[in-house]
Homo-oligomer: A and B are copies of this chain.
Amino acid sequence: MTESVRERELIQKAGKAKTAASSLAKATTEQKNKALYAISEQLINEQAFILSENHKDLLAGKENGMSESLLDRLKLNEARIQDMADALIQLMDLDDPIGGVIDKWKRPNDLSIAQIRVPLGVVGMIYEARPNVTVDASSLCLKTGNAVLLRGSSTAIHSNKAIVHVIRQALEFSDLPKESVQLLEDTRRETTSEMFKLNEFLDVLIPRGGAKLIQTVVENSTVPVLETGAGNCHVYIDETADPKMAVKIAINAKTQRPSVCNACENILVQRNWASNHIPDLITALKEKEVNIHGDETVQQTGTDITPVTEEDYGTEYLGLDVAVKVVENVEEAIQHINQYGTKHSEAIISSSMDNVEQFFTEVDAAAVYHNASTRFTDGFEFGFGAEIGISTQKLHARGPMGLSALTSTKYVVSGSGQVK
């Protein structure tokens, strides 16, 4: 591609998305759901085409020495396409946030003010080699009346092109503009960098992927970013914690799915609880083949304990490793969490409501838990029916983001000739 063609693609597609966004903002719930249904059907109708294009990416990936886990993320099959189609049908059932009245009131001068939900406009989505995100992002944006400019990985380009082709075929059977979904085919770094500065066309950028991708987007974008961050989550077992419950929650938070951001990386144990019950915790962790990094007290409980380091406390292992530290009290636990945590999900297991209250107030995190696993920080577990991601930033949206995270608001003011 020559430079001018490259620039034309980015600007043209962003411009088309912006034009489509105006139509989308007016679309009814029925029109949007009809489009989601059409896409669901078309994904199944065209699955042979999608799978054969996906096969090209898989072959290239293997040739280029892509790891097994990355190849697995890249791979589509009939079951996975069926999952995508089913998710679209489920999305139809969710309430349409657009047009919803958040608040309304009347002023002494008789002006009526209403704050209503509106789409953001154009969403820029930057993600790694997971073709399911192409469907997921497009459908969540359409449901909320937003156009989307997709920038996927070059290693998934055939899959993404095929999926976007199919989505746009489906949109032609609907009342929504097919220009609502745009895929950037030029995935070069310098083009992505231009996307970071495309404030004229993009209302928000959402990076979905590893910490490095998110960091790059946050550090370089002038377009506002919806940041989904890392999770260095803790379970604090307080002095009065029920021993069985504490062990059950710690094991679940650590081992049920260690590779995700709401998994526990760090168990803090109050000293008196530890004196009586820490062997039970250690035994249970070892049964699950967890590699324990412990402080001196923990090391005394047996062999196979790796001495914990300062670095461990700041590490999101995303695997079967855990740091275990004995603390004196809830204050020390809170202080440790606020120092090393990533403000994601933090749990206290305790029977002392005073300590729970203090933990809830003083721990700075998107979600704080009492007597429950950190693994519940999830849009579906929270009952949102969809998830854009889990925000660890404090502006706009914090914690699991449902459809409303893809909306903005507008004040609608009705008068009868009022002037100031």
Contact = CB atoms under 8 A, between A and B. Distances in A.
Interface of A: 22, 25-26, 105, 107, 111, 113, 118, 120-121, 199, 203-204, 218-219, 222, 224-226, 242, 245, 248-249, 252-253, 256, 338, 360-362, 364-373, 375-377, 381-383, 393-396, 398-400, 408-420
Given A113-B382, A222-B219, A242 B396 contact: no
Contacts of A22: 338, 362, 364
A25 B370 CA distance: 20
Nearest to A203: B394
Contact of A121 (B121, B360, B373, B394): B394
A141 to B, nearest CB: 14
A412 B345 CA distance: 10
Contact of A398 (B219, B242, B249, B408): B408
Contacts of A252: 419-420
Nearest to A407: B394
Given A26-B362, A412-B360, A420-B252, A111 B372 contact: yes
Contacts of A365: 410
Contact of A411 (B26, B366, B393): B366
A107 to B, nearest CB: 6
Contacts of A395: 120, 203-204, 224, 226, 395-396, 408
A415 B371 contact: yes
A376 B413 contact: yes
B224 A364 contact: no
Nearest to A411: B367
A398 B410 contact: yes
Contact of A372 (B118, B368, B400, B413): B413
Given A252-B420, A394-B203, A395-B224, A364 B414 contact: no
